Amino acid sequence: MDHCAALFFCLCLVTSQSGTAEAFRESLRWMKKMEVVPKRRTLTSFAWLIHGLEGRLLNASFKGYNLTLQTSTIQTLAFKLGCDFAGLSLNSTALEPVPQDRAPHAMQFPAELTRESCRDRPTELRLICIYFFTAYFFKNDINSSLLNNYILGAQLGHGHVNNLRELVNISFWHNQSLEGYSVTCVFWKEGASTRHWGVWSPEGCRTEQPSHSQVLCRCNHLSYFAVLMQISPAPLPAELLAPLKYISLVGCSVSIAASLLTILLHFHARKQSDSITHIHMNLHASVLLLNVTFLLSSTLAMPSVPGSACKALAAILHYALLSCLTWMAIEGFNLYLLLGRVYNIYIRRYVLKLCAVGWGVPAFLVLLLLAVKSSVYGHRAIPLSDSQGNGTGFQNVSICWVQSPEVHSVLVMGYGGLTSLFNLVVLAWALRALHRLKAREKAPGTRACRDTVTVLGLTVLLGTTWALAFFSFGVFLLPQLFLFTIFNSLYGFFLFLWFCSQRCRSEAEVKAELEAFSSTQTTQ
């Protein structure tokens, strides 16, 4: 009887070992199969291959605490975790090298990782890590390259891990300095594209650069992570961030209050309004929308905020900017009509047509972008350099803005450039016309002050200070940053001053006409 029990035990042991070995071989065969996939594959094929590998690793049985498998371009790790999990640090230097693994990388998982799963079903958990040293399976329409072509992925069981308070740290190193590049931590967002089986998205991730050659990604979820690289201008000094943010906050807040007050004063004195005043009020409304959305853009770019909210705000911010630029151009066009066509300037439903252009054209452009490719909006990383101690660190701050460099070049810089050029031409022509009028009237020197106010008012009204955006290079960069931030954050306030000066001037003219009329009546 004892011999039978021993024989049965040995049979079970052999069967178990053969099953474990078969699980190893099946996962390894699948990894090798992925390396020799045909060049022409459908979108679902890539997802099917990767999900197939994930399922085999999650269901594989193995002895001990962990399992490691690798081929020339793929490396996989599987770990058995319990509810007493205290965290895990993985470093490529402690793993067997892979032929395509040219630079080190690391992942650090917090203790919070298993808490949610253990609260629902306190059983043994499986953490798998899949490292791809090729970007072949993650093709996307991006004008960027992946750092080292590394994609580091992690998954806990068959569920999703999101909204971690203790962030997952993923480190990438490069064998050369990354100065001169804009780097952004991203994850693979499956199902977010119709042309590919996913897109790279920065949602829920924060990008830091502790050194010239290291990128640290701090993310609140598990997925496949990578670092996008783009050649960019030198990063801005991090010590300038605080004063620029303070100037923007104060300036935009003052402009918001000034625009609201101007609109309220307009409604209070509506009986005196004409087409010019209506145009001014529409410009104030666009500036008000622009300032409000701009102040919210950095708040909604936080990792804890859903990516859809940031994308929506980025689209609204872009719309507000385009509307503001369009109404500036309309102000220039209206000024040309006033000074160039003194007679016969009546246009049927003039203000209504201008509103269709000022609000409708930007809306059409933004909606077209959202319909064609909604991924143009989202988190936009701004690289900063932070000089501390003996070295220089790098980090990114994010705002909700246009992500696509092409869209930014055409529908931000290009649109703004055309508007600024048109208004500068109109301003030069208007100043020439005013100079001719002054020479003809030979007015006394007391008019010089009024002319100065008129010139400054027209400069503000036409938004010519926005042309400072095109001087962000070389020695002009730092002065341009502060001048652009000061003038354009206070743009609504300057418009309010112009509105007040025009209102005071009109009241003074009405008063002078009344006095002239009364003196005429007295003489009679």
Q: Kindly tell me the burial class for residue 480, based on how many C-beta atoms sit within 10 Å of its own C-beta (0-12, 13-18, 19 or more).
A: middle
The CA-atom distances, in angstroms, between 253 and each of 24, 172, 293, 296 are 62, 40, 12, 12
Burial status of residue 231 (CB atoms within 10 A of its CB: 0-12, 13-18, 19 or more): exposed
Radius of gyration of the chain (CA): 32
Give the C-alpha separation, 213 to 188, whole Å.
23
Contact 168, 220 (CB under 8 A): yes
pLDDT for res 258: 94
Residue 386's beta-bridge partner residues? 393
pLDDT of residue 122: 62
Distance CA 102, CA 175 (A): 8
391 backbone dihedrals φ, ψ, rounded to 5°: -130, 180
* Tokens of residue 384, six digits: 């900063």
Inter-CA distances, 6 with 10, 62, 63, 314, Å: 6, 23, 21, 70
8 A C-beta contact, residue 32 and residue 53: no
What DSSP state is assigned to residue 281?
Answer: H
Rounded CA-CA distance 96/162 in Å is 30
Contacts of 464 (CB under 8 A, 6+ apart): 420, 423, 424, 427
Q: State pLDDT tens for residues 114-156.
A: 888 887 766 778 899 999 988 888 877 665 678 888 999 999 9
Structural element, H or E, at residue 78:
strand 74-81
> What type of residue sits at position 301?
A
Per-residue confidence (pLDDT) for residue 451, from 0 to 100 = 58
Angle, helices 241-268 vs 275-297, to 10°: value is 150
Q: Calculate the CA 113 to chain-centre distance.
A: 28
pLDDT at 180: 67
Positions in the chain whose pLDDT score sits under 70:
1-24, 37-44, 99-101, 121-122, 141-144, 180, 231-235, 269-273, 341-346, 385-396, 437-456, 473-475, 505-524
Residue 143, helix vs strand vs coil: coil
What distance in Å separates the CA atoms of residue 362 and residue 284, rounded to the nearest whole number?
A: 16
Question: What pLDDT score was predicted for residue 100?
Answer: 66
Q: What 8-state DSSP symbol labels residue 73?
A: S
Predicted local confidence at residue 231, as pLDDT? 58
pLDDT at 507: 55
Q: Please, what is the angle between helix 307-340 and helix 415-441, to 10°?
A: 30
Residue 394 has a pLDDT of: 55
- Token readout for 362 is 């930007």
Identify the residue whose tokens are 């708040």. 299
Q: Degrees (nearest 5) of the Cα angle 214, 231, 229? A: 45
What phi and psi values does residue 47 have, to the nearest 5 degrees? -65, -40
User: What pLDDT does 522 receive?
Assistant: 43
Question: Residue 6 has what pLDDT?
Answer: 45
How far from chain centre, in Å, is Cα 356? 28
Helix (H) or strand (E) holding 198: strand 198-201
Pair of tokens at residue 220: 């609140």
pLDDT at 282: 93
pTM to 2 decimals?
Answer: 0.63
pLDDT at 195: 73
Handedness of CA 344, 349, 353, 354 (dihedral sign): positive
CA angle 471, 376, 172 (to 5 degrees): 85
pLDDT of residue 1: 45
- In this prediction, residue 327 carries a pLDDT of 94
